[in-house]
Amino acid sequence: MSGNRRPLKDVLIETASALEKAGIEAPRMEARRLLCWAIGCEASGLLTRDDMPEEVMTRLASGLDQRCARRPLALIEGETGFWSLTLSVSPDTLIPRGDSETLIEVLLSLRPKREEIRSVLDLGTGTGCLLLAALSEYQEAFGVGVDLSPAAAALACENASRNALAERCAFLAGNWFSALRGQFDVILSNPPYIRATDLDGLMPEVRDHEPERALIGGEDGLDDYRRLLAQAKAHLAPQGIMIFEIGRGQEPDVRALAEEAGFTLREARADLAGIVRALCFEHASARLCVQS
C-alpha cells in the first residue's frame, strides 16, 4: 500500500483480502474497523471519504501487519465495547468478550429491583468490565474489584473514570478474598478456567497475546473455583447471589464444588452460542428459607 492517495474502495478490498489470507474471520468487517482506527473516525466517517492520504495508509499498514500476525484487533485499537461501556484494554488483562455479558443478564433477571443492590464484588476484575457494567445498572451500589495484577487493577481504575463511575468503586491488587472484609450483595467472577493441556489449542490471539495467569485454571481448569468457593461463604451476604463464568462443559463440576461448599444453584444460563456460560449460586440456607 504505497503512493500519495488511494481510493477508499480499493483500500478496503485490499485490506480485507490480506486479512482473509491470514485466516481472520469476518475480514470485511475487520478491514472497516482497521481503516476507522487508521483514520481516527467512527464507521459513519468512512461515508464522507473518497480516498486515503499517505499518512493514513502508513498507519493502516502498521495495523494490518499486526492483525495479520494475529494480534487482537482490540489491542490494536486500544479499546473495546462491553455492555453499554467503552473500555480501554491492554496486554495486562483479558479482552472483554460478549460471552461474559451473560453474567450481567443473569444478575438483572434475578435482581430486577435496582435499589436492592448496594454492594458488588468482582474477583479477577481485569479491565473492570463486569463490575462497571453492574454499577452502570445499579445506581445505588458501590463496587470493589480485585485482581492479582497491579497493572490490571490500575487499568480498571482508568476505565471507571472513563465511564464516570470512579466515585462508586475501588480497585485492589490482591489474591481473591485475601484483602477483603465484610459481605457483598453480589459477587461476580470470571476466573481462569482453561485446562493447562488446552493452552496450545487456543486461538493465537488468545494464546499469544492475553496473560496466561488469567487463562489457565490448573490441570482440570477448576483450581480457582476451588479457591473462590473455599472462602466465598464468609463474604456473600445471607440473601446474596454469586455468579461465575465457566467454560464449555464445566457446569457439573463447578456445581458439585459449590454444593460441597454450602451453596446451591439458582440459575444456569447459556450464551448466544448455546454454551452454558454463567452459573448463579446462593447460600443453601437461603433456598431452604424460601421453601419453608
**pLDDT, tens digit (0-9, with 9 covering 90-100), for 71-92:** 999 999 999 999 999 999 999 9
Ordered structural domains, the chain, with CATH: 5-69 (1.10.8), 80-291 (3.40.50.150)
Mean pLDDT score across all residues of the chain? 92
Looking at residue 2, its pLDDT comes to: 44
Looking at residue 288, its pLDDT comes to: 53
Q: Looking at residues 173-184, what average pLDDT do you find? A: 91
Looking at residue 150, its pLDDT comes to: 96
Looking at residue 54, its pLDDT comes to: 85
Q: State yes or no: pLDDT of 169 exceeds 80.
A: yes
For the stretch 223-266, pLDDT in tens is: 999 999 999 999 999 999 999 999 999 999 999 999 999 999 99
Q: Looking at residues 194-215, what average pLDDT do you find? A: 92
Looking at residue 101, its pLDDT comes to: 97
Q: Which pLDDT band, with edges at 50, 70 and 90, does 4 fall under?
A: low
Q: Which pLDDT band, with edges at 50, 70 and 90, does 43 fall under?
A: confident
Q: Looking at residues 149-170, what average pLDDT do you find? A: 97
Looking at residue 53, its pLDDT comes to: 82
Looking at residue 47, its pLDDT comes to: 67
Least confident among 51-65, 165-179, 190-204: 51-65
What burial letters (b/e) apply to 247-274, b meaning 16+ CB within 10 Å? beebbeebbebbeebebebbeeeebeee
**HEC string of the chain?**
CCCCEEEHHHHHHHHHHHHHHCCCCCHHHHHHHHHHHHHCCCHHHHHHCCEEEHHHHHHHHHHHHHHHCCCCHHHHHCEEEECCEEEECCCCCCCCCHHHHHHHHHHHHHCCCHHHCCEEEEECCCCCHHHHHHHHHCCCCEEEEEECCHHHHHHHHHHHHHCCCHHHEEEEECCCCCCCCCCEEEEEECCCCECHHHHHHCCHHHHCCCCHHHCECCCCCCHHHHHHHHHHCCCEEEEEEEEEECCCCCHHHHHHHHHHCCEEEEEEEECCCCCEEEEEEEEHHHHHHHHC
Q: Looking at residues 54-59, what average pLDDT do you find? A: 89
Looking at residue 29, its pLDDT comes to: 94
Q: Looking at residues 120-137, what average pLDDT do you find? A: 98
Q: State yes or no: pLDDT of 26 exceeds 70.
A: yes
For the stretch 94-104, pLDDT in tens is: 999 999 999 99
Looking at residue 1, its pLDDT comes to: 41
Looking at residue 10, its pLDDT comes to: 87
Phi, psi of 16 (to 5 degrees): -65, -40
Q: Looking at residues 122-140, what average pLDDT do you find? A: 97
Looking at residue 292, its pLDDT comes to: 44
- The structure's pTM equals 0.91
Edge to edge, what strands does the sheet with 184-189 contain?
Answer: 169-173, 142-147, 119-123, 184-189, 236-245, 276-283, 263-270
Instruction: Give the whole-angstrom CA distance, residue 97 versus residue 271.
Output: 11
245: left (phi over 0), alpha (psi -120 to 50) or beta: beta
Q: Which pLDDT band, with edges at 50, 70 and 90, does 289 fall under?
A: low
Question: Do residues 241 and 282 make contact, with C-beta atoms less than 8 angstroms apart?
Answer: yes
Q: Looking at residues 202-221, what average pLDDT do you find? A: 93
Query: Which amino acid appears at position 237 of this protein?
Result: A
